[in-house]
Homo-oligomer: A and B are copies of this chain.
Amino acid sequence: MNKAEKLSVVSYRGTRDFYPEDMRIRSWIFDRMKETAMSFGYEEYDGPMLESFELYAAKSGEELVNEQLYHFFDRADRHVAIRPEMTPTVARMVAARINDLSRPIRWFSFPNLWRYEKPQRGRLREHWQFNVDILGSDSIGADQEIIEIAIQVMIRLGAGKNDFRIHISNRRMLTYFLHQILDLPEGIWGGVCRAIDKRSKIPHETFEEMLRELELTSHQISELGRYLSLSHQNIDQHPVSESDGYGELRQIWNGLSESGLDTFCTLDLSIVRGLDYYTGTVFEMYDLAPENRRALFGGGRYDNLVGLFSKDRLSGVGFGMGDVTVRDFLEIHGLIPNPEPPIQVHVALFNEELRRSSGAIASLLRSAGYRTTLQLDPVKLAKQFKWADSKSIPIVILQGPDEKKQNLVQVKNMLTHSQQVVSERDLVETVRQSLAGD
C-alpha cells in the first residue's frame, strides 16, 4: 500500500475522540451527575441508539426531523433513526409498562445523541446528555425537586452562586397573560412566544417590530415589556398574580427559599423554551461568566408524555444537560480538577529471573486496591524510571536480587525523589502512606 492510499485519522465531522485524558474528565463529570441523581432516589435506564423513524416524525420539531435527524432504511427496509433526543425513547419505555411502574417514576440516563448540525462552539453532531425526569406526578413538589437536582448537580461540580443562575418562569402564567390580560387571539400566541424567546439575542427595535407585525398595539407592546421585566419582588402587585400558573411559580419559589436555594435562582418571565412541549414550569441555567452569557441547559413540565403510544395520560418534569456545554462551563470557571493519577504504582523488573516475584508484588498491590502496572521487559532501569515519569506515576517499586534474598523492596517516590527500603510485609502500608503524602 503506498502512502496515498492511507486512510485519514480524523474522526467524522462534529464528533470527538475521547483519549484517556478527555475520558477522565467526562467520567468525572458524569460521576458527579450520577451521584446527585441517585442521592435523590433516581434510577438509571438506557435504551437503544436506533429507534423507528416514526417516533421522531410524530412529535419532534420539523427542523429537527427535516434538517438534523440521521435516518436511513435498514436491510429489511425498516425506516430507522439515530436518536437525536431521549424523550421519545423514555416515553416509549414508560408506555410499555404504564401499569407496572409505580409512580412517581424517577429516572435518569446518559444517552449519546446525534444531530446533523454545522459544528461550532458548544454544538457537535454527537454529544452526551444527562437526562433527569420525574414522571407521573402533577405535584408542584416534583417541579421543585427537578430544579433542586439541577442546582445540586452544579454545586457538586464545584460551581457557586457567582458562576450560574437558574432562570424560572411558567408557561401557564404566560398564556394567562397573553389571553386574559392582553386579550390576544390564540392564533398569535405562538408568534409572540417566538419573539419573546429571541428577545435577548436581537435589538429592542427588532423585537417591537416583530410584535407590531403580529398586530399588537403600542399599549399591548408596553404591557408585555412590563410583564417581562417583573421580578419576584413586584410580581405580586401585577394582575398576572391572579393566575394558577403564578400560584405554581410562587410555590416553587417559596420552596426554593426555604431550602436556601433561591440564591441560585431568578424569576425571568422571558423564559419560554420548546413551544409545543412545555406546559407549566420552565427553567434555564445561565452561565454568569461575562464571556459565556447564555443558557447552558433547561427543562420544565410537560403533559401527556405517552400520548403517542397509549390513551393513558402521564405528565412529567425534567431536564437535559449536554456534556459539551457543561465541560465548556467548567473550563471557563476553572472547575475541572487535577486528575487522579491513572497509574499509582509501577513495579519495575530487575531481570528475567525476578519476573515471578515482581509479578507477585504487582498482584499484591492490585489486591490492595492500587492501580498498578508491571514492567513487561527487563530493559535498563533508567529507561523503566523514565517511562514511569512520562506517565506521571507517583511510586515505583523495585526488587533486585539482594533485596529479594532478604524479602525487601525499594519504594521510590517519584514526586519527592526519596526512596526507602521496606520489608515485603510492610509494602502495602508504605505505598498507602506515600500516596497519602504522609
Contacts and interface: CB of A to CB of B under 8 A. Distances in A.
A375 to B, nearest CB: 8
Contact of A142 (B43, B369, B376): B376
Contact of A307 (B1, B19, B38, B96): B1
Contacts of A82: 49-50, 82
Given A44-B20, A52-B8, A116 B373 contact: no
A390 interface: yes
B38 A259 contact: no
Interface string A1-36: 101001111111101111110011011000000000
A311 interface: yes
Contacts of A376: 104, 137, 139, 141-142, 145
A311 B6 CA distance: 9
Interface string A326-365: 0000000000000000110010000000011001100100
Contact of A116 (B1, B17, B74, B390): B74
Q: How many subunits of this chain does the assembly comprise? A: 2
A3 B89 CA distance: 20
Nearest to A370: B39
Contacts of A387: 102
Nearest to A38: B371
Interface residues of A, number: 92
A379 B75 CA distance: 52
Given A92-B7, A258-B356, A309-B7, A126 B20 contact: no
A47 interface: yes
B52 A7 contact: yes
A11 B88 CA distance: 11
Contacts of A10: 96
A259 B374 CA distance: 13
Interface string A119-155: 0000000100000000001010110010000000000
Contacts of A307: 1
A204 to B, nearest CB: 36
A93 interface: yes
Contacts of A17: 45-48, 89, 92-93, 96
B126 A50 contact: yes
A97 B44 contact: no
A19 B95 CA distance: 12
Contacts of A106: 373
A80 interface: yes
Contacts of A369: 39
B40 A372 contact: yes
Q: Closest 8 interchain pairs by CB? A: A15-B48, A20-B43, A41-B373, A72-B72, A9-B96, A141-B376, A139-B376, A18-B46
Interface of A: 1, 3, 6-13, 15-20, 23-24, 26-27, 38-41, 43-52, 54-55, 58, 67, 70, 72, 74-75, 78, 80, 82, 89, 92-93, 95-97, 102, 104, 106-107, 112, 114, 116, 126, 137, 139, 141-142, 145, 255, 258-259, 307-311, 342-343, 346, 355-356, 359-360, 363, 366, 369-374, 376-377, 387, 390-391
24 contacts: A7-B54, A7-B55, A8-B309, A9-B95, A11-B47, A11-B51, A12-B52, A15-B49, A17-B47, A20-B45, A23-B46, A27-B44, A38-B371, A39-B371, A41-B342, A41-B371, A48-B126, A49-B114, A49-B126, A72-B72, A145-B374, A255-B359, A258-B355, A259-B359
